[in-house]
Amino acid sequence: MTRSIARTTLTAAGMIVALAMAGPSFAAEPVRLTLETHAAFFSRETGQAKAVDPQVFVADAAAAAGVGPQGIKHVAGFRPALIQADPASSPLFNSEGAKLGFTLGEWLAASGSVTMTPAANGAVGVVVDAKGLRPNAVYSLFENHFDQSPVGFTPLDGTGQANSFHTDAAGNGHAALTAPQALTSANAVLLVLDDDGQTHGMTRGAIGVNAQHHLIAQPAK
Protein backbone atom coordinates (compact mmCIF):
# COMPACT_ATOMS: atom_id res chain seq x y z
CA MET A 1 0.00 0.00 0.00
CA THR A 2 2.79 2.41 0.95
CA ARG A 3 4.67 1.65 -2.28
CA SER A 4 1.47 2.20 -4.28
CA ILE A 5 0.81 5.55 -2.61
CA ALA A 6 4.43 6.58 -3.21
CA ARG A 7 4.14 5.68 -6.90
CA THR A 8 0.91 7.67 -7.16
CA THR A 9 2.51 10.63 -5.41
CA LEU A 10 5.53 10.55 -7.71
CA THR A 11 3.29 10.26 -10.77
CA ALA A 12 1.22 13.27 -9.68
CA ALA A 13 4.36 15.23 -8.95
CA GLY A 14 5.68 14.35 -12.39
CA MET A 15 2.47 15.58 -13.99
CA ILE A 16 2.73 18.88 -12.08
CA VAL A 17 6.32 19.33 -13.21
CA ALA A 18 5.36 18.48 -16.80
CA LEU A 19 2.47 20.95 -16.77
CA ALA A 20 4.69 23.63 -15.24
CA MET A 21 7.23 23.07 -17.99
CA ALA A 22 4.59 23.01 -20.70
CA GLY A 23 2.84 26.14 -19.43
CA PRO A 24 5.36 28.77 -20.53
CA SER A 25 5.82 27.04 -23.90
CA PHE A 26 2.08 27.09 -24.57
CA ALA A 27 1.79 30.70 -23.38
CA ALA A 28 4.58 31.72 -25.75
CA GLU A 29 2.73 30.50 -28.84
CA PRO A 30 2.41 33.42 -31.29
CA VAL A 31 -0.99 34.77 -32.28
CA ARG A 32 -1.48 35.82 -35.90
CA LEU A 33 -4.10 38.40 -36.87
CA THR A 34 -5.21 39.40 -40.36
CA LEU A 35 -5.20 43.09 -41.14
CA GLU A 36 -8.24 44.59 -42.87
CA THR A 37 -8.98 48.07 -44.13
CA HIS A 38 -10.03 50.51 -41.46
CA ALA A 39 -12.88 51.51 -43.80
CA ALA A 40 -14.38 48.00 -43.71
CA PHE A 41 -13.84 47.67 -39.95
CA PHE A 42 -15.37 51.07 -39.18
CA SER A 43 -18.37 50.52 -41.45
CA ARG A 44 -19.12 47.11 -39.93
CA GLU A 45 -18.64 48.09 -36.30
CA THR A 46 -20.73 51.26 -36.60
CA GLY A 47 -23.44 49.76 -38.82
CA GLN A 48 -23.10 52.24 -41.68
CA ALA A 49 -25.93 52.04 -44.23
CA LYS A 50 -23.31 52.53 -46.97
CA ALA A 51 -19.78 51.32 -46.36
CA VAL A 52 -17.59 54.39 -46.05
CA ASP A 53 -14.04 55.42 -45.37
CA PRO A 54 -14.43 58.40 -43.04
CA GLN A 55 -10.79 59.49 -43.36
CA VAL A 56 -10.21 59.75 -47.12
CA PHE A 57 -12.28 61.83 -49.52
CA VAL A 58 -13.40 61.97 -53.15
CA ALA A 59 -14.25 65.02 -55.25
CA ASP A 60 -17.98 65.71 -55.50
CA ALA A 61 -19.11 69.08 -56.85
CA ALA A 62 -22.47 68.70 -55.10
CA ALA A 63 -20.95 68.11 -51.66
CA ALA A 64 -21.30 70.94 -49.18
CA ALA A 65 -18.75 71.59 -46.46
CA GLY A 66 -19.63 69.46 -43.47
CA VAL A 67 -18.65 66.88 -40.89
CA GLY A 68 -18.24 63.22 -41.79
CA PRO A 69 -19.33 60.11 -39.85
CA GLN A 70 -16.20 60.17 -37.69
CA GLY A 71 -16.43 63.85 -36.83
CA ILE A 72 -13.88 64.95 -39.44
CA LYS A 73 -14.62 68.33 -41.03
CA HIS A 74 -14.28 68.49 -44.81
CA VAL A 75 -14.36 71.38 -47.28
CA ALA A 76 -17.01 71.90 -49.95
CA GLY A 77 -16.58 69.84 -53.10
CA PHE A 78 -15.36 66.77 -51.23
CA ARG A 79 -17.01 64.03 -49.19
CA PRO A 80 -15.96 60.77 -47.47
CA ALA A 81 -15.30 57.95 -49.95
CA LEU A 82 -17.98 55.28 -50.32
CA ILE A 83 -16.01 52.06 -50.61
CA GLN A 84 -18.57 50.18 -52.70
CA ALA A 85 -20.40 52.96 -54.55
CA ASP A 86 -17.47 55.11 -55.70
CA PRO A 87 -15.35 53.93 -58.68
CA ALA A 88 -12.07 52.27 -57.78
CA SER A 89 -10.34 54.74 -60.09
CA SER A 90 -11.49 57.72 -58.00
CA PRO A 91 -8.52 59.86 -56.88
CA LEU A 92 -8.39 60.36 -53.12
CA PHE A 93 -7.92 63.59 -51.18
CA ASN A 94 -7.61 64.64 -47.58
CA SER A 95 -10.39 66.54 -45.84
CA GLU A 96 -8.98 69.85 -47.06
CA GLY A 97 -8.97 68.81 -50.71
CA ALA A 98 -5.24 68.05 -51.07
CA LYS A 99 -4.36 65.07 -53.27
CA LEU A 100 -3.22 61.94 -51.47
CA GLY A 101 -1.54 60.49 -54.56
CA PHE A 102 -3.48 57.25 -54.98
CA THR A 103 -6.89 55.95 -55.99
CA LEU A 104 -9.65 54.43 -53.91
CA GLY A 105 -8.94 51.01 -55.41
CA GLU A 106 -5.27 51.23 -54.50
CA TRP A 107 -6.12 52.36 -50.96
CA LEU A 108 -8.55 49.49 -50.40
CA ALA A 109 -6.23 46.83 -51.86
CA ALA A 110 -3.84 46.96 -48.88
CA SER A 111 -3.57 43.85 -46.71
CA GLY A 112 -1.27 42.17 -44.25
CA SER A 113 -0.84 40.42 -40.92
CA VAL A 114 0.15 41.02 -37.32
CA THR A 115 2.00 38.39 -35.30
CA MET A 116 2.10 38.79 -31.52
CA THR A 117 4.39 36.72 -29.32
CA PRO A 118 4.38 36.97 -25.50
CA ALA A 119 7.66 38.26 -24.09
CA ALA A 120 9.08 38.84 -20.61
CA ASN A 121 7.27 40.85 -17.94
CA GLY A 122 3.92 40.79 -19.74
CA ALA A 123 5.25 42.55 -22.84
CA VAL A 124 4.46 41.36 -26.36
CA GLY A 125 6.65 41.18 -29.42
CA VAL A 126 4.73 42.50 -32.43
CA VAL A 127 5.65 41.93 -36.07
CA VAL A 128 3.66 43.63 -38.83
CA ASP A 129 3.93 42.66 -42.49
CA ALA A 130 1.79 44.51 -45.02
CA LYS A 131 1.55 45.08 -48.75
CA GLY A 132 -0.35 47.48 -50.95
CA LEU A 133 0.46 50.40 -48.67
CA ARG A 134 1.36 53.82 -50.03
CA PRO A 135 4.81 53.46 -51.65
CA ASN A 136 7.77 55.29 -50.10
CA ALA A 137 5.64 56.50 -47.22
CA VAL A 138 5.78 56.76 -43.45
CA TYR A 139 3.37 54.71 -41.33
CA SER A 140 2.95 54.59 -37.55
CA LEU A 141 1.56 51.81 -35.39
CA PHE A 142 -0.98 52.65 -32.72
CA GLU A 143 -3.12 50.71 -30.26
CA ASN A 144 -6.86 51.31 -30.11
CA HIS A 145 -8.46 51.25 -26.66
CA PHE A 146 -12.11 50.38 -27.24
CA ASP A 147 -12.73 50.18 -23.50
CA GLN A 148 -12.30 53.97 -23.29
CA SER A 149 -14.93 56.56 -24.19
CA PRO A 150 -14.20 58.08 -26.58
CA VAL A 151 -11.90 55.42 -28.02
CA GLY A 152 -8.32 56.08 -26.94
CA PHE A 153 -5.11 55.70 -28.95
CA THR A 154 -1.55 55.15 -27.77
CA PRO A 155 1.66 54.35 -29.69
CA LEU A 156 1.98 50.57 -29.95
CA ASP A 157 5.47 50.70 -28.43
CA GLY A 158 4.17 52.80 -25.53
CA THR A 159 6.57 55.69 -26.15
CA GLY A 160 6.06 56.85 -29.74
CA GLN A 161 9.77 56.39 -30.42
CA ALA A 162 9.87 53.01 -32.21
CA ASN A 163 6.38 52.63 -33.64
CA SER A 164 6.98 53.98 -37.17
CA PHE A 165 8.32 52.43 -40.39
CA HIS A 166 8.89 53.27 -44.05
CA THR A 167 7.36 51.41 -46.98
CA ASP A 168 9.40 50.50 -50.04
CA ALA A 169 8.79 51.55 -53.66
CA ALA A 170 6.29 48.71 -54.07
CA GLY A 171 4.26 49.65 -50.98
CA ASN A 172 5.52 46.80 -48.80
CA GLY A 173 5.99 47.47 -45.11
CA HIS A 174 7.60 45.56 -42.25
CA ALA A 175 7.90 46.53 -38.59
CA ALA A 176 8.97 44.73 -35.43
CA LEU A 177 8.60 46.22 -31.97
CA THR A 178 7.67 45.42 -28.39
CA ALA A 179 4.31 46.43 -26.95
CA PRO A 180 4.41 46.99 -23.17
CA GLN A 181 1.38 44.79 -22.50
CA ALA A 182 -0.79 42.10 -24.08
CA LEU A 183 -3.57 43.11 -26.43
CA THR A 184 -7.10 41.81 -25.95
CA SER A 185 -10.38 42.22 -27.84
CA ALA A 186 -10.64 45.62 -26.15
CA ASN A 187 -7.65 46.71 -28.26
CA ALA A 188 -6.54 46.67 -31.89
CA VAL A 189 -3.36 47.19 -33.88
CA LEU A 190 -3.77 50.21 -36.16
CA LEU A 191 -1.63 51.30 -39.13
CA VAL A 192 -1.79 55.05 -39.63
CA LEU A 193 -0.49 56.67 -42.81
CA ASP A 194 1.54 59.75 -41.93
CA ASP A 195 0.55 61.56 -45.11
CA ASP A 196 2.87 64.48 -44.41
CA GLY A 197 5.85 62.13 -44.14
CA GLN A 198 6.37 63.03 -40.48
CA THR A 199 5.90 60.91 -37.38
CA HIS A 200 3.80 62.50 -34.65
CA GLY A 201 5.19 60.95 -31.48
CA MET A 202 2.50 60.16 -28.93
CA THR A 203 -0.32 61.37 -31.20
CA ARG A 204 -1.65 60.13 -34.53
CA GLY A 205 -1.48 63.56 -36.15
CA ALA A 206 -4.47 65.48 -37.54
CA ILE A 207 -6.74 62.67 -38.63
CA GLY A 208 -8.15 63.17 -42.10
CA VAL A 209 -5.71 66.01 -42.75
CA ASN A 210 -2.13 64.72 -42.43
CA ALA A 211 -2.85 61.22 -41.08
CA GLN A 212 -5.29 58.51 -42.13
CA HIS A 213 -6.17 55.13 -40.60
CA HIS A 214 -5.38 52.51 -43.23
CA LEU A 215 -5.34 48.97 -41.79
CA ILE A 216 -6.45 47.48 -38.50
CA ALA A 217 -6.52 44.10 -36.71
CA GLN A 218 -8.45 43.28 -33.54
CA PRO A 219 -7.80 40.18 -31.40
CA ALA A 220 -10.74 37.78 -31.24
CA LYS A 221 -13.36 38.32 -28.56
Collect contacts of 206-211 with beta carbons under 8 A, ≥24 apart: 207/55, 207/70, 207/72, 208/54, 208/55, 208/56, 208/57, 208/68, 208/70, 208/72, 208/73, 208/74, 208/94, 208/95, 209/94, 209/95, 209/96, 210/94, 211/140
Give the pLDDT confidence of 160-196 residue by residue, as tens digits: 999 999 999 999 999 999 999 999 999 999 999 999 9
Q: Are residues 204 and 124 in the same domain?
A: yes
| Longest Cα separation, the chain | 91
Question: What span, in angstroms and rounded, lies between the C-alpha atoms of 65 and 49?
Answer: 21
Give the pLDDT confidence of 198-221 residue by residue, as tens digits: 999 999 999 999 999 999 999 998
Identify the domain containing residue 185 by its residue range: 29-41+111-217
DSSP letters along 64-101, please? PSEE-TTS-EE-TTEEEEETTTS-TT-EEE-TTS-EEE
Q: Are residues 61 and 147 in the same domain?
A: no
Where in 119-163 does DSSP place strands (E)? 124-131, 138-145, 152-155
Average pLDDT, whole number, for the chain?
90
Chain center to CA of 133 = 13
Is pLDDT at 20 greater than 50 in this prediction? no
Left if phi > 0, otherwise alpha if psi is -120 to 50, otherwise beta: which for 50?
A: beta
Q: Is residue 65 part of a domain?
A: yes
Q: Are residues 126 and 205 in the same domain?
A: yes
Q: Are residues 151 and 98 in the same domain?
A: no
Q: What pLDDT does residue 54 have? A: 98
Q: What pLDDT does residue 141 have? A: 98
Give the pLDDT confidence of 84-122 residue by residue, as tens digits: 999 999 999 999 999 999 999 999 999 999 999 999 999
Count the domains in the chain. Answer: 2
Cα separations in angstroms, 190 against 6, 9, 66, 140: 55, 51, 26, 8
User: Which of 62, 86, 106 delimits the end of a domain?
Assistant: 106
Q: Are residues 55 and 115 in the same domain?
A: no
Is pLDDT at 123 greater than 90 in this prediction? yes
Chain center to CA of 104 = 19
Q: Taking residues 116-142, report their average pLDDT.
A: 97
Q: What pLDDT does residue 221 have? A: 80
Q: What pLDDT does residue 7 have? A: 39
Q: Are residues 151 and 95 in the same domain?
A: no
Give the pLDDT confidence of 31-40 residue by residue, as tens digits: 999 999 999 9
Q: Taking residues 139-160, report their average pLDDT.
A: 97
Q: Are residues 56 and 88 in the same domain?
A: yes
Q: Are residues 90 and 115 in the same domain?
A: no
Question: What span, in angstroms and rounded, lies between the C-alpha atoms of 185 and 93?
Answer: 32
Q: Are residues 122 and 52 in the same domain?
A: no
Exposed, middle or buried, 89 (CB in 10 Å: 0-12/13-18/19+)?
exposed
pTM exceeding the 0.85 threshold for the entire prediction: yes
